[in-house]
Amino acid sequence: MKRLLLFVVFLWLAAPSWVNAEETPNAKQARRIFNQTYDMVFGPQGSTLQYHVNIIGVMKVSGKIWYKGKKKRFEESRYLSWSDGVNDSWVDLKKKTVTLYDIAHPRKTKYSGNFTFNPNEFDYYIEDGGSDFIITLNAHKNVKSNIKHAKAIIDKKTRAPKSLKIKLLWFWTTVKIFNFRSGNISDDTFTFPSTKYKHFTWIDERK
């Protein structure tokens, strides 16, 4: 459940957006600001942030994540992961296992098929939240995605993401974001330190 949760949240966060010429001025502004924040997070300069995920009544997860192009790394209390754009290395500190995956492993295909995010399938609306922008997304009728509603809080001055609230199926997931930094992310950040876990049980799921 926890791996699925993390995958869904980061898949949604990594979904690109663009502006539709037929949108209202409010929607265009919402998309423009959303895009600016997206570029700060997922641009070639890379980024890092800390997060706290809360699924009401189910679980809470805190951790830190790094992005740079197709590379990704995250760490939390039980799970650690390094993805260098080719291989995905998952460490389970409780079970003391290291599992190696291809980036295109079927587990990801299965999850992404259920939780895809197409920015053109949503209506955008922006509100003034004092020092923040509040961007609301509501899915169009009959869309296939299980993501139906979302609300992003973005800092007005820095355009840094501050929180994201997503309705997945029947439950709401809140992601609090803090200590965000864009740029100066070394490629070494995404190199899996295999020798550190040489005494763990290794599972190779790569093809």
- Between helices 2-13 and 106-114, what is the axis angle to 10°? 70
In whole numbers, what is the pLDDT of the chain averaged over residues?
Answer: 83
The whole domain housing 58 covers: 2-204
Q: Quote the CA–CA distance of 129 and 167 in Å, as a whole number.
A: 21
Query: Is the confidence at residue 79, as pLDDT, over 60?
Result: yes
Residue pair 63/184 in contact by the 8 Å Cβ criterion: no
pLDDT at 19: 53
Query: Is the confidence at residue 14, as pLDDT, over 50?
Result: yes
179 phi/psi in degrees, rounded to 5: 55, 45
Mean pLDDT throughout 8-35? 70
CB-CB neighbours of 159 under 10 Å: 19
For 143-195, give the DSSP string. Answer: ---SEEEEEEEEETTT--EEEEEEEETTEEEEEEEEEEEES---GGGGS--GG
Through-space distance between the first and last CA atoms of the chain, rounded to whole angstroms: 24
130 backbone φψ class: left, alpha, beta (φ>0; ψ -120 to 50): left
| CATH number for position 14 | 2.50.20.10
For CA atoms 22, 24, 27, 31, the dihedral sign is positive
Residue pair 60/52 in contact by the 8 Å Cβ criterion: yes
DSSP state of 206: -
pLDDT at 110: 46
Tell me the β-bridge partners of 171.
168
pLDDT digit string, tens, across residues 153-199:
999 999 999 998 888 767 788 889 999 999 999 999 999 999 999 99
Domain count for the chain: 1
Q: Quote the CA–CA distance of 143 and 139 in Å, as a whole number.
A: 7
pLDDT digit string, tens, across residues 41-59:
888 999 999 999 887 767 7
For CA atoms 60, 64, 69, 71, the dihedral sign is negative
pLDDT at 156: 97
Task: Return the structure tokens found at 179.
Answer: 């200590």
